[in-house]
Amino acid sequence: MDPDFGMRGGGGIMIKDLDNQVATLKALAERRKAGALSRGPLATPPVNEELSQRRVPHTMAITSGKGGVGKTLVTVNLAIQYARQGLKVLLIDADLGLANIDVVLGISTPEYTIQDVLEGHLTLDQVAIQGPEGITILPAASGVAGLSALTEEQKLALMDHIDHWNADFDVVLVDTGAGISENVRFFVLAVERIMVVVTPDPTSVTDAYALMKVLFLNHRASHFDLVINQVRDENEAKDVYRTLSQVADKFLNVVLNFVGSVPEDALLAQSVRAQNPVSITHPDAAVSQSFKKLSASLMRLWREKRQEEGRMIFFWRRLLQDARGQSGS
Ligand SMILES: Nc1ncnc2c1ncn2[C@@H]1O[C@H](COP(=O)(O)OP(=O)(O)OP(=O)(O)O)[C@@H](O)[C@H]1O
Ligand SMILES: [Mg+2]
């Protein structure tokens, strides 16, 4: 079988050289060292000991090969589950999908975005919105181009701002949008875990494979947390997982974790129309319970990984470290 696993059109997602990012990061690291980034609207405080002692949040990017598979719903409901467990949650809305986080949560369209932070006239506190259950939302998308309109340097500066934000989050979830967009490339490098949402629809499965392949080949991503959405039952979820993991095992050197599944449920579509997440309106419904289970499985994975690796380094410090590692310096 073609290793592209029937990618649509021989590659609905083209594999190109995606690693300019590392070169940019390396240049940034050098400029930062030389003090060139310490002035202007992108000014960022230096890393200090106090910061490196701080609680480090669990971070995850939620992505998919194909659009419209439920990323935003999974992200928002996971956020609510964690908030209900008493955790402090930050949601970064890096997507401009059909249903944005603000729409799904029924909060007013954000007036400002991180663009305003990057331009230097607002702080993250001023741009962030409070959502239900004490969730903090960072509207990162602005205009049709969204975050992808930002330069690498601006994105890195954004991460730096977040890293220095005077708010201790336990969990940071980034809704990245679908496919191999700039956002996906950037955030998957900056977070601890990558969640791929997939449905039993064959095009969703092949696109998920194509996405993982690109992230593996070009970005050294080697672990993916799979959530199968809109399933009839657990068997259907397991079938999708088996199909994907068989091809991945054969052609890619990656680990696919089956994190869980979410049933097809009219309550979810209703919740979008009502702009009120199902985990709030129907906490005992099967679909809300599936989000609760997901939140527990993910937390387990985060914790196990931390135990293996010790302290995780967050965002740009890790990016810069990766960039240095790649350059062999
Ligand atoms: N488990 C489900 N059961 C029923 N409907 C669902 C389910 N999951 C998603 N949907 C439907 O799919 C729609 C798209 O979901 P969502 O906006 O979360 O997808 P997305 O992957 O974020 O899309 P985009 O790629 O456009 O950002 C929802 O509005 C809802 O109607
Ligand atoms: Mg979305």
Which residues, 6 or more positions from 294, have their beta carbon under 8 angstroms from its beta carbon? 74, 78, 81, 227, 259, 260, 262
Task: Give the ligand with the smallest distance to the CA of 104.
Answer: 1
Decide if domain 17-31+55-323 falls under CATH 3.40.605.10: no
Q: What is the pTM of this model?
A: 0.82
Nearest to 162 by CA among 318, 329, 6: 318
Q: Is 69 in the pocket of ligand 1 (CB under 6 A)?
A: yes
Q: Is 71 in the pocket of ligand 1 (CB under 6 A)?
A: yes
Task: Give the ligand with the smallest distance to the CA of 231.
Answer: 1
Placement of tokens 């405080």 in the chain: 45
pLDDT tens, position by position, 164-201:
776 778 999 988 877 777 667 777 777 889 999 999 99
Predicted confidence band of residue 116 (pLDDT cuts 50, 70, 90): confident
Cα–ligand 2 centroid distance for 123 (angstroms): 25
Over 60: is that where the pLDDT of 328 sits? no
Amino acid at the residue 253: N
Q: Which of 62, 66, 69 to mutate to test the pocket of ligand 1 (most atoms within 8 A of CB)?
A: 69
Strand, coil or helix: what is 54? coil
Task: Please compute the mean of the pLDDT values over residues 125-148 and round it to a whole number.
Answer: 78
Per-residue model confidence (pLDDT) at position 295:
97
Query: How high is the mean pLDDT of the chain?
Result: 78
What is the rounded CA–CA span in Å between residue 151 and residue 76? 27
Nearest to 292 by CA among 57, 81, 99, 141: 81
Task: Give the ligand with the smallest distance to the CA of 64.
Answer: 1
Amino acid at the residue 275: Q
Task: Please compute the mean of the pLDDT values over residues 276-292 and round it to a whole number.
Answer: 97
Over 80: is that where the pLDDT of 3 sits? no
Give the domain ranges of the chain. Answer: 17-31+55-323
What is the rounded CA–CA span in Å between residue 88 and residue 259? 22
Strand, coil or helix: what is 24? helix
Q: Is 236 in the pocket of ligand 1 (CB under 6 A)?
A: no
Per-residue model confidence (pLDDT) at position 5:
54
Q: Which of 72, 207, 289 to mutate to test the pocket of ligand 1 (most atoms within 8 A of CB)?
A: 72
Per-residue model confidence (pLDDT) at position 44:
42
